[in-house]
């Protein structure tokens, strides 16, 4: 799906199916309850979702906050126009906005957010790009940064391969299997992260690279 000439219909189906897949496996409900909801109040809390893709995580978090009667403003950014195009076609959700941008643009603008997050982004990056992402996250996050990513595992590879066989006409299965192969072990991610960042356990077959101000 990263190829610029990939089938647009399959790509749209992939963004559409990501919502169900992420709800099932990525662990954001637990992260919302443990990491985000304690920060929320009637005053807006701001979140930046870097590499937001089709926008499902941003929308999911905002809807949970709305159901809890809390105020959450989520900005999703992605440099890929196809991803942002899909996100902007979503039905509007209060407190969610999307823009095609790289995190460097927000730094130039002097933007700051209470929390910076990403989902399944780290394994896509070269070592240099990972360093840039973490540097930018530290500059953009007022309170904490949480990068949720896959943890490489043979069992995860086998289970995901079987579980995604029924998903039709999308890149979910092939992209997911490639992502698991590319992802870090906890020791590898710890070694790659600069001082101040900590690798924490996440949902099954997931890990969080976290930076906390307090």
| Per-residue confidence (pLDDT) for residue 172, from 0 to 100 | 76
Q: In terms of DSSP H, where are the helices of 26-118?
A: 28-31, 56-67, 81-88, 103-109
**Residue 162 is assigned to a structural domain of this protein:** no
Residue span of the structural domain in which 100 resides: 8-151+184-212
The CATH number that applies at residue 145 is 3.40.50.150
Ranges of residues in the chain whose predicted pLDDT is under 50: none
Asked, for residue 163, whether it belongs to a domain, the answer is no
pLDDT of residue 1: 52
SS3 100: strand
Eight-class DSSP state of 42: S
Domain count for the chain? 1
- Structure tokens, 114: 């209470």
16 closest CA partner among 50, 52, 54, 45: 54
Q: pTM here?
A: 0.91
Spatial CB neighbours of 8, under 8 Å, sequence gap ≥ 6 = 82
The answer to whether residue 167 sits within a structural domain is no
E-assigned strand segments in the chain: 45-50, 72-78, 96-100, 113-119, 141-150, 198-201, 206-212
- Report if residue 165 sits inside a domain: no
Is residue 96 in a domain?
yes
What pLDDT score was predicted for residue 162? 81
């Amino acid at each position: 799906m990263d190829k610029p000439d990939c089938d647009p219909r399959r790509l749209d189906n992939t963004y559409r199916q990501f919502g169900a897949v992420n709800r099932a496996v990525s662990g954001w409900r637990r992260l919302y309850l443990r990491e985000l909801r304690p920060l929320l109040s009637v005053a807006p809390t701001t979140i930046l979702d870097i590499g937001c893709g089709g926008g499902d995580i941003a929308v999911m978090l905002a809807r949970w906050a709305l159901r809890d009667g809390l105020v959450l403003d989520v900005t999703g950014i992605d440099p890929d126009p196809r991803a942002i195009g899909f996100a902007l076609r979503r039905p509007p959700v209060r407190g969610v906005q999307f823009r095609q941008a790289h995190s460097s643009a927000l730094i130039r603008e002097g933007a700051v957010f209470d929390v910076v997050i990403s989902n399944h982004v780290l394994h896509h990056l070269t070592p240099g790009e990972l360093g840039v992402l973490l540097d930018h996250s530290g500059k953009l996050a007022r309170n904490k940064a949480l990068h949720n990513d896959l943890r490489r595992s043979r069992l995860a590879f086998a289970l995901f391969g079987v579980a995604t066989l029924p998903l039709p006409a999308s890149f979910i299965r092939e992209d997911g299997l490639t992502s698991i192969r590319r992802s870090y072990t906890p020791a590898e991610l710890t070694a790659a992260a600069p001082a101040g960042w900590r690798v924490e356990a996440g949902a099954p077959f997931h890990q969080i690279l976290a930076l906390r101000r307090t």
